[in-house]
A and B are shown apart, each in its own frame.
Chain A
Amino acid sequence: MSWLLQRIDDRLIHGQVVVAWGQRLHPDRLWVADDGAAADPWERDLLAVAAPGIEVRVVSVAAMAAAWAEENLAAGGAFLIVRDLAAALALVEAGAAVARFNLGGLHYAPGKSKVNEYIYLDEADRARARALLARSVALEVQDVPGARVESLAALDPESAPA
Chain B
Amino acid sequence: MNPRTPALLVMHSDLAAALMRAAEKVYGAVEDVEVLSNEGLSREEMEQAIARRFETWRDGGLVLTDFWGGSCHICGVAAARGHGDVVVVTGLNLPMLLDYLHNRDEYGPLALADRLMRKGRDSVRLHHGQPS
Contacts and interface: CB of A to CB of B under 8 A. Distances in A.
Interface of A: 10-15, 18-19, 42-43, 46-47, 50-52, 107-109
Which 5 A-B pairs give the minimum distances between C-beta atoms? A15-B70, A14-B71, A107-B42, A18-B69, A50-B69
A19 B40 contact: no
B76 to A, nearest CB: 11
Nearest to B67: A15
Contacts of A107: 40-42, 45
Nearest to A12: B43
Given A15-B71, A107-B40, A108-B40, 4 more contacts: A15-B12, A42-B81, A107-B41, A107-B42
A12 B77 CA distance: 14
Most chain B CB inside 10 Å of its own CB: which residue of A14, A18, A50, A107: A14
Contacts of A109: 42
- Size category of the B interface is 10 to 19
B77 A46 contact: yes
Given A14-B74, A107-B40, A108-B40, A19 B67 contact: yes
Most chain A CB inside 10 Å of its own CB: which residue of B43, B78, B81: B43
Contact of B43 (A11, A15, A19): A11
A116 B78 CA distance: 28
A51 B68 CA distance: 8
B13 to A, nearest CB: 11
Contacts of B70: 14-15, 18-19
Interface string B30-47: 000000000011110100
Interface of B is mostly: loop
A152 B118 CA distance: 46
Interface string B1-34: 0000000000010000000000000000000000
B69 to A, nearest CB: 4
Interface in B57-96: 67-71, 73-74, 77-78, 81
A16 to B, nearest CB: 9
Nearest to B78: A46
Contacts of A50: 68-69, 73-74
Contacts of B42: 10-11, 107-109
A38 to B, nearest CB: 16
A52 B90 CA distance: 14
B78 A51 contact: no
A13 B75 CA distance: 11
A14 B41 contact: no
25 contacts: A10-B42, A11-B42, A11-B43, A12-B74, A13-B74, A14-B69, A14-B71, A14-B74, A15-B12, A15-B69, A15-B70, A18-B69, A18-B70, A19-B70, A46-B74, A46-B77, A50-B68, A50-B69, A50-B73, A50-B74, A51-B69, A52-B69, A107-B40, A108-B40, A109-B42
